[in-house]
A and B are shown apart, each in its own frame.
Chain A
Amino acid sequence: MSRHTGRRLLEDGVRHCVDDICIPVKLFYGHVLDLSDRVDYLFISRLVSVEKCEDDTYTCPKLIGLPDMIKGSLTGLPPIIDFVVDVQNMSLKSSVKKLADSFGVTGSRVKRVLDAALEVERRYQAELLRGVPPEEAIDIVLSNGGGNGSGSKAGPERTGGGDLNIALVGHEYLIFDPFISHNIPRKLERLGANVSFITQVPSAVIDRELARYPGISWSYEKELLGAASHFLSHDDIDGVMLVVGFACGPDSIIGEIITREVRTEKSPPLITLVLDEHTGEAGVATRVEAFIDLIRRSRTRIPSTRPDPD
């Protein structure tokens, strides 16, 4: 696996990319370059569609074309294993079979491996729902690999003693990458807020919320929209932070739909933070602090505006 994101890695990615592509792709390039001279094969999955439903769904053009971009623009790479996930047209099982064929693995072993992988994935999702950040969740799930399936109790409990509940909505690869997001979750916690993650919203809730906003075909954006709608209609939540990457195409549309269609007058405050490769730590910190300060201030003011008993 590639190393954690760092300045060098990001700079490498930016240098080999088209200027105006979104920040996640630049990061991906960085990670590929980080790996390229250390491995014999590169595993890049091509996520075409990740859910099966009546309407057409896609991930995002850039995710669909990711292996093409890597192949077309970088030289001196090890051979690429192109794993296609296109649930709309091909079941996950047959994509895995196709992949296994290229390794020369066949028969029941494929099924066994796939079942085991799906089981791990299920436990991983369960950890995420408890509010464990992905990285820790991976450690937890993989450390008791043989697994009793009941989920571990080792994970830190996240119901901290903060006085504010802030929901973070945004793509996981942005929020949970401490380098590019300047560790927004930690910043919020340090300011005395309890953080709810988008990963904590069960998919059933997302589906229920989405029924009100039909007609979106990007799977990952549907998650954002559903989660944002869930948090924005929740009384316990004091503020929602929408974290988007600069030049992300789908985010530019969904961000607008969230602020215009989903948010109502009764919703908690919403802030949009745009991250790019230049975003200075101070800029993000200032915005986060200001957001928290404003929420606190509006809270203290409400009692003071009440008419005095005298």
Chain B
Amino acid sequence: MKVSFPHMGNAYIALSSLLSNLGAEVIVPPRPTRKTIDIGALHAPEFVCLPFKVNLGDNLRSLQMGADTLAMVSGMWACRFGYYGRVQHQILHDAGFEFDSILLGREGIRTVYEKFRPTIEGNLALGWYRAFRHFRRKAVAVDKLEVKTREIRPYEIERGSTSRTLTDGLSLVHEARSLDRIDAALLEATGLLDDVELDRDREEPLRVAVLGEIYAVLEPSLNFDIERRLGEMGVRAFPVMSVYKWLFRPLKTDPRITIEEYRARRIAKPYIAYVLGGEEHQTISGTINAARNGYDGVLHLYPFTCMPENICRTILPRIESDFDIPVLNLCLDEHASPTGIATRLEAFVDLLRQRRRKRARAQVPPL
């Protein structure tokens, strides 16, 4: 069984570890590029949201690379994401590809559990347990590296050195095959990041919360690697979501995530009274929290026609004035250009710098 799945930030590291421990041969498609998005958009419905098109492009690439099984989560939510697997796989079948689908959620856990019966050696439950442990260990390791990178990037002396080191570190973790090796790889990667040359004397970097639709926030090919761009402009980016949280939120194994979800819903309640099926509560509460914690600004990312985030986008200006925090809305689609994004980011960062200086002046008592 040659299994493949679409990309979502660095989730592929943990996911491919899960699947290969279940005995499947994993085919990881190349990281999505503009080309992937173009192929996806060619086959996708006209005004479906952008993640659909990227995922479809990823799937096409995997099939060209010889995958015979495509995995996707699926569900009955108010958001379109729940229908991605079903419609994408139908489109691919119509395009003439032959493959098997694993739709986690729609077919129930049981069928997926049984699907790996022939590939797992020995006890089935034990095999799943082992796979899950690897999966979690890798997800945690990747998360730690991402957090560390975010911290040091604004201080780097050679532009791009942190990101390069992160890529090396991630591939170390990706290649580790046992739990011990994963720990060792994490240690080594952390060491590599520690060795990046930094200039700690720089002025305190601007702090910007990055939030919005989860795929737009986490997938660098979609948001033109916004975290890196910000970091290299000397801004500390704080994504409200992370791949780790995204993977473990539905599993409910980490109480911290559940509590955070609950808190977010409570904070967002006055603005959004009902669950809309997306990350709307994280967007609203993230903006409010950013203001309360003294961040300099908020970057709101969402794909064109995203339903929950469009509602947030409508409400955010009110929060912007209620809590006095600047918000930049960036709508991403297959026609967005890196230059357009860069220009807007630079202007936004300039404004934030000015705002901070003005505030600092206001605090210094006149002579």
CB within 8 Å of B: which residues of A?
A: 17-22, 46, 48, 55-56, 58-62, 64-65, 67-69, 72-73, 215-218, 246-250, 252-253, 255-257, 260-261, 274
A247 x B305 contact (CB < 8 A): yes
Closest 10 CB pairs of A and B: A72-B315, A217-B76, A58-B78, A65-B311, A61-B276, A61-B307, A252-B48, A249-B307, A69-B314, A247-B305
In angstroms, how far is the closest chain B Cβ from the Cβ of A256? 5
B318 x A55 contact (CB < 8 A): no
Task: Specify which of A65, A216, A256, A261 lies most central, judged by the most chain B CB atoms within 10 Å of its CB.
Answer: A65
Cβ-closest chain A residue relative to B302? A20
B76 x A252 contact (CB < 8 A): no
CB contact list, B269-322 vs A, under 8 A? 271-278, 280, 304-308, 310-311, 313-315, 317-318
A72 x B87 contact (CB < 8 A): no
In angstroms, how far is the closest chain A Cβ from the Cβ of B267? 14
A21 x B315 contact (CB < 8 A): no
Q: Is B46 close to A, CB under 8 A?
A: yes
What B residues does A246 contact at CB under 8 A? 47
A61 x B277 contact (CB < 8 A): yes
A260 x B94 contact (CB < 8 A): yes
Cβ-closest chain A residue relative to B333? A20
Task: Specify which of B78, B80, B310, B311 lies most central, judged by the most chain A CB atoms within 10 Å of its CB.
Answer: B78
Q: Is B97 close to A, CB under 8 A?
A: no
B47 x A18 contact (CB < 8 A): no
20 contacts between A and B (CB under 8 A): A60-B307, A64-B78, A64-B274, A65-B280, A65-B308, A67-B273, A68-B274, A69-B311, A72-B271, A72-B315, A215-B76, A217-B77, A249-B306, A250-B80, A252-B45, A253-B83, A255-B45, A256-B48, A257-B90, A274-B47
Cβ-closest chain B residue relative to A244? B47
Interface residues of chain A: helix, strand, loop or mixed (majority)? mixed
In angstroms, how far is the closest chain B Cβ from the Cβ of A120? 28
What A residues does B278 contact at CB under 8 A? 61
In the assembled complex, the Cα of A121 lies from the Cα of B304 at a distance in Å of 37
* Mask: chain B, 79-114; 1 = CB below 8 Å from A; 0 = not: 110110011001100100000000000100000000
CB within 8 Å of A: which residues of B?
A: 45-49, 76-80, 82-83, 86-87, 90-91, 94, 106, 271-278, 280, 304-308, 310-311, 313-315, 317-318, 331
A68 x B272 contact (CB < 8 A): yes
Task: Specify which of B48, B49, B80, B311 lies most central, judged by the most chain A CB atoms within 10 Å of its CB.
Answer: B311
Known: A46-B274, A55-B76. A260 touches B87 (CB 8 A): yes
Cβ-closest chain A residue relative to B331? A20
Contact of A61 among B76, B78, B315 (CB under 8 A): B78
Known: A20-B331, A48-B274. A256 touches B305 (CB 8 A): no
What B residues does A274 contact at CB under 8 A? 46-47
List 4 additional A-B contacts (Cβ < 8 Å) besides A17-B314, A61-B311, A217-B77.
Answer: A61-B280, A62-B310, A65-B280, A73-B317
Contact of A20 among B90, B280, B305 (CB under 8 A): B305
A68 x B315 contact (CB < 8 A): yes
Contact of B79 among A46, A61, A216 (CB under 8 A): A61
A64 x B315 contact (CB < 8 A): no
In angstroms, how far is the closest chain B Cβ from the Cβ of A69? 4
B91 x A256 contact (CB < 8 A): yes
In angstroms, how far is the closest chain A Cβ from the Cβ of B71? 17
In the assembled complex, the Cα of A281 lies from the Cα of B86 at a distance in Å of 35
What B residues does A64 contact at CB under 8 A? 78, 274-276
In angstroms, how far is the closest chain A Cβ from the Cβ of B216? 13
In the assembled complex, the Cα of A61 lies from the Cα of B82 at a distance in Å of 13
Contact of B78 among A73, A215, A217 (CB under 8 A): A217
In the assembled complex, the Cα of A69 lies from the Cα of B316 at a distance in Å of 10
What A residues does B275 contact at CB under 8 A? 64
In the assembled complex, the Cα of A21 lies from the Cα of B315 at a distance in Å of 13
In the assembled complex, the Cα of A257 lies from the Cα of B84 at a distance in Å of 11
What A residues does B79 contact at CB under 8 A? 61
Contact of B318 among A62, A67, A73 (CB under 8 A): A73
B90 x A60 contact (CB < 8 A): no
In the assembled complex, the Cα of A168 lies from the Cα of B318 at a distance in Å of 40
In the assembled complex, the Cα of A60 lies from the Cα of B304 at a distance in Å of 17
Cβ-closest chain B residue relative to A49? B78
B310 x A260 contact (CB < 8 A): no
In the assembled complex, the Cα of A108 lies from the Cα of B247 at a distance in Å of 51
Cβ-closest chain B residue relative to A66? B311
In the assembled complex, the Cα of A69 lies from the Cα of B46 at a distance in Å of 26
What A residues does B76 contact at CB under 8 A? 55-56, 215-217
What B residues does A218 contact at CB under 8 A? 78
Known: A58-B277, A65-B276. A72 touches B314 (CB 8 A): yes
Contact of A18 among B87, B313, B318 (CB under 8 A): B313
B48 x A253 contact (CB < 8 A): yes
In angstroms, how far is the closest chain B Cβ from the Cβ of A253? 5
What A residues does B47 contact at CB under 8 A? 246-248, 252, 274
In angstroms, how far is the closest chain B Cβ from the Cβ of A81? 14
What B residues does A62 contact at CB under 8 A? 307, 310-311
B49 x A249 contact (CB < 8 A): yes
Contact of B273 among A22, A68, A247, A256 (CB under 8 A): A68
